[in-house]
Structure 1
Amino acid sequence: MSTYVHFEDLSNEIFFEIFDYLHALDIFASFTSLNERISSILQLIPLRIVVSNNNTRQQIKFLSSHLTCHDHQVISINIDNIRDNSSVINFLFSRHNFINLQSCVFRSMKPTTKFENVMQQMKNLNRLVVFRIYDNHDNLNESSKYDFTQTILMHQSSCLRSIVLQAPYDYLDVSNYKLLPSNLLSLSLYMRSSSATVSVHSIISILRFCNRIQNLEITISHDSLIANNNVNSTQTPSYNDNDLPRLTQLKHFNFKVFAICDSRLISYILRCMPNLIRFHFNLAIRKAEWTFPGELLDGHVWKQMLELHVPYLSEFDFHMAIFKKIPELDLDIIVNSFECIVETYSDWHMIIDRWRYNYIYGGK
């Protein structure tokens, strides 16, 4: 005689496992009011909110209606504003108090998004582990950036481990901040400079607050092209070792530069990281009119900097994109200069390519 097993006959442990693979909207849409047992399980599980641009306003309202009795169970929020330009972030945070939130990720900000309720809650989230905000299209106003930066970088939760602030901001007020959260291990910042030249002073000011960081990413770009953009040694101020911070716990540094940069700047930054193991460098000269510092295409310059300042380095990865027509670069000279790197990094691989623009058809 055949024995039929119904879905509702599964053990509580299996239900917990199933719900761990689903986000809150799917759970409420599929299991709400199924039966009393399932409803009791839904009171006990952690909830993860995922909102993408495929979700409709009606779905967000449905989610919110069920969160009324479950918002204290939410441990993770990942929001990408939906197509109808409504502010999902403000909508949810104005109606719910996510007191046990551990991970918070905001993407694709809208200029009209309001963050007052978010800021108020953020200050009291003692279990927050991860906070990330992505605004690469620069839709946030300066006031919101200031509030986010100050609130999260001065957050003193002992649980906070990772902060990503990928919203262009100048960080001129960083000297007014206190120490970063005590147990913070990973930090990613998008620094916007007021000129086309990277300010070593601005970067060093940020590094002074990163003495316990193990993984650091800094992206820096410019607001506009300056009239005189030649890079020379006078643009990078002199520092001695006593003037520089020491980030002894830093192991991984990712440096992305979309502005004019020279070897002295990189050298000063690396001096602050004596125990660095992995260094990723990305440089893109976006304006053909900019004078590219040819020294950064010399492998001997890189070898000297790395051996002198980061003796424990085991991984060096760099990418440089140069928009330059005349004179054309001699690729053989560049490749040959980096042969000295092979002696230090046995797994070294180098790819160098020349792309030509077709100005008639606008293609490459």
Structure 2
Amino acid sequence: MTSEFLIKDIRTRAVLVPLRRPVIAGIGRFELWPLVLVDLETTNGIIGHSYVAPYRAAAVPTVVAAIRDLSDMLKGRSAVPFDAFESAAKALNVVGSAGMSMIATSAVDIAIWDALAKAANQPLANFLGGTLAPVRSYNSNGLWRHQVSTLAAEARALQQEGGFSVMKLRLGNEHLKDDVAAINAIREGVGSEIDLMVDFNQALGLGDAIRRCHELDDAGLYWFEEPIAYDNTRGYAQLAAKVRTPLQMGENFYGPRDFFASLSAGAVHYAMADLMRIGGVTGWLRAASIAAATGIQISNHLYPEISAHLLRVTPTAHWLEWVDWANPILEEPLQPRQGYVCAPQRPGIGISWNEKAVGKYAVKV
């Protein structure tokens, strides 16, 4: 990259957007979704966009502060993602390499890659050496832990939203009968041909997880996601050896090293990466190489607009998790069709802000 392509400025804004369906799980209840928007301007006038979603609105000021810290450091430097990634890691490791440090690094990294692909006048997938093609997807926009009586109708609505034949249900209720009732309600609503993934959101202890997963092993489920605390690597390895239904986890891994530690320990059968935590595009590419080396299929967690590109350059690409949570502030949101999502032909990631909506949902930081 020539010295002319430098980082001129990195600007941040925050919004709090409404969710069409509240998120209700062991991690809490969310009816509003916080997003931190990043606009990285280069000296040749190109602006790279990215966003991160730190779950809790109270965390937004800390994320913004960390990104502004990186901005002060990176202004005037070449817009080279690998160099910027390493510089950010070294600058922030004194306060920890995970958590807010990695979230801020990821936000900047994604924006740099967006700017680079725009400079090349190519969609990100093409810029990375891949092609744009539909990616098979599952609908993750609902089926949270709420009243069983509403699940069948909600499952039918989710199926129709984009022709989905795969969707995700959240489990981890106090009693097995309630988890079974939820599964049965989905089957009654959309039939037994629908592939159903279930996510426990780390709700169980190891002993209870072994019991619960054994009890649900004959339910024909696609995977068990995060039954226990994500950092209990030894527990996952024990559980993986005892169940027939494949285990899925990875959304809480901070950086490729966490990813490697879990996969090399035999802790999972499937893996997923969250762009906010794995290290943006740079972190994803490194994690994808680890997944390929270990033969583990990898899916994304959230961020479908960016993941639709990255899964096209991932050797063991598996599923795209479809959510529309950022749609309220996007100018041209993605639209799933027949259970597939395709990244747009536009240069870069292909996202731009609906400025009127950004103004409507803006929060001060």
TM-score (norm 1): 0.27
Looking at CA atoms only, which structure, 1 or 2, has the larger radius of gyration?
1
TM-score (norm 2): 0.27
Higher RCO, Cα 8 Å, sep 6+: 2
